[in-house]
């Protein structure tokens, strides 16, 4: 989804400023972003080598409790951003899931510096996507053969939960769809039906099968009523082992995490297109009448 950025633009600007200063400066800045995300950036002239970045983000999974919400796998993924520059501090600063010590002097010069800083600025996306990656990588784990098909409710953005259901040989991802405007519901419904038609074609046979239904799938029975109360139905994707192999894993995870944003982007673009066409036709009608 090219329209969505992984890196925080505001955090990227601050880190670029610190890097280009080429010397320690005093900074103690709190940065807040949509989805109850908070960054705390600290730099001091008394500590000329390091910049400290603390991150607070809502837990993706509401059913799995870990210390600070960060698993060892997630920590490994964060360390892998740039091992020479990024070091995880233990314990994290109070009130945050993770605290990083950054040695900006070890960032390579030239164009590579922009890429490294962009990767560091995407640390919140790395934390969230790592949690979902762990679930998808276990698509063929033995738990699925022992009747343990527990539905896990995941929250990436407030008021936009989705569900992961582990089944034999696959994982089902279900998205309840809600809109405030009835027009948006009509546009989205047409989009989902088209998505199913395209997804069933031979050209897209390797993509995760998609299904839209106005009612909840049977796998969500027993979930709270407020989570199943929608006006746009439910979109489901079947994730099999081939969708989480190699580089496909990262693409699948990012697409699932941003599915809601993609749908809203499509609906907004479609509505704008329809409105432009209506204005043009109205203008032509006025010209004819005059």
Instruction: Report the residue count for the chain.
Output: 290
Of 289 and 76, the structure prediction assigns the larger pLDDT to 76
Domain boundaries, the chain: 9-132, 139-274
Q: With 50 as the cut, is the pLDDT of residue 14 above it?
A: yes
* Sheet bearing 151-157, strands edge to edge: 151-157, 160-167, 170-176, 234-240, 210-213
Q: With 70 as the cut, is the pLDDT of residue 166 above it?
A: yes
Q: What is the pLDDT, as a whole number, of residue 64?
A: 55
Q: With 60 as the cut, is the pLDDT of residue 229 above it?
A: yes
User: How far apart, in Å, do the first and last CA atoms of the chain sit?
Assistant: 46
Q: What is the pLDDT, as a whole number, of residue 201?
A: 81
Q: What is the pLDDT, as a whole number, of residue 60?
A: 75
Q: With 90 as the cut, is the pLDDT of residue 200 above it?
A: no
Q: With 70 as the cut, is the pLDDT of residue 65 above it?
A: no
Of 85 and 289, the structure prediction assigns the larger pLDDT to 85
Q: What is the pLDDT, as a whole number, of residue 140?
A: 56
If you average pLDDT over residues 205-222, what whole number do you get?
90
What share of the chain has pLDDT > 90, as a percent?
Answer: 41
Of 235 and 67, the structure prediction assigns the larger pLDDT to 235
Q: What is the pLDDT, as a whole number, of residue 35?
A: 72
Reported as a pLDDT band with limits 50, 70 and 90, residue 1 is: very low
What share of the chain has pLDDT > 70, as a percent?
Answer: 91
The Cα 248–Cα 250 span in angstroms is 6
Reported as a pLDDT band with limits 50, 70 and 90, residue 112 is: confident
Q: With 60 as the cut, is the pLDDT of residue 68 above it?
A: no
DSSP reduced 3-state for 88 = strand
Reported as a pLDDT band with limits 50, 70 and 90, residue 184 is: very high
Q: Hey, do 9-132 and 139-274 end up sharing a CATH topology, with the first three levels equal?
A: yes
Q: With 80 as the cut, is the pLDDT of residue 290 above it?
A: no
Q: With 90 as the cut, is the pLDDT of residue 62 above it?
A: no
Q: What is the pLDDT of residues 34-43, one digit of tens each?
A: 778 999 999 9
If you average pLDDT over residues 263-284, what whole number do you get?
88
Dihedral sign for Cα 162, 246, 118, 24, please. positive
SS (H, E, C) 263-288: HHHHHHHHHHHHHHHHHHHHHHHHHH
If you average pLDDT over residues 211-231, what whole number do you get?
91
Q: Which two tokens stand for residue 201?
A: 């074609």
Q: Which CATH architecture does the domain made up of 9-132 adopt?
A: 2-Layer Sandwich (3.30)
Q: What is the pLDDT, as a whole number, of residue 100?
A: 96
Provide the mean pLDDT of the chain. 85
From the number of C-beta atoms within 10 Å of its C-beta (0-12, 13-18, 19+), residue 282 rates as: exposed
Of 267 and 138, the structure prediction assigns the larger pLDDT to 267
The fold adopted by the segment(s) 139-274 is: Yope Regulator; Chain: A, (3.30.1460)
pTM value?
0.79
If you average pLDDT over residues 89-111, what whole number do you get?
90
């Amino acid at each position: 989804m090219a329209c969505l950025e992984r890196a925080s633009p505001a955090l990227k600007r601050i880190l670029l400023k610190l890097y280009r200063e080429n010397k320690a400066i005093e900074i103690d800045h709190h940065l807040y972003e949509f989805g109850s995300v908070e960054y705390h950036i600290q730099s001091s002239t008394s500590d000329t080598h390091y910049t400290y970045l603390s991150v607070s983000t809502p837990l993706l999974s509401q059913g799995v409790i870990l210390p600070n919400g960060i698993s060892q796998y997630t920590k490994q993924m964060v360390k892998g951003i740039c091992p020479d520059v990024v070091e995880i501090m233990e314990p994290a600063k109070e009130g945050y899931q993770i605290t990083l010590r950054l040695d900006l002097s070890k960032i390579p010069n030239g164009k590579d510096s922009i890429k490294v800083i962009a990767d560091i600025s995407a640390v919140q996306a790395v934390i969230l996507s790592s949690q979902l990656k762990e679930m998808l990588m276990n698509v063929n784990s033995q738990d699925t053969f022992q009747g343990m098909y527990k539905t896990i409710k995941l929250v990436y953005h407030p008021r936009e939960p989705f569900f992961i259901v582990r089944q034999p040989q696959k994982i089902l991802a279900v998205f309840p769809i809600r809109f405030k405007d009835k027009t948006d519901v009509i546009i989205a419904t047409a989009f989902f039906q088209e998505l199913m038609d395209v997804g069933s074609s031979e050209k897209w046979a390797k993509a995760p099968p998609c299904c839209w239904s106005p009612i909840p799938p049977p796998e969500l029975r027993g979930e709270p009523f407020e989570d199943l109360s929608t006006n746009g139905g439910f979109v489901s994707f079947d994730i099999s082992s081939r969708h989480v192999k190699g580089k496909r894993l990262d693409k699948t995870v990012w697409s699932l995490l941003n599915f809601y944003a993609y749908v809203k982007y499509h609906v907004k673009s479609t509505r704008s297109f329809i409105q432009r066409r209506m204005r043009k036709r109205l203008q032509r009608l006025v010209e004819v009448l005059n």
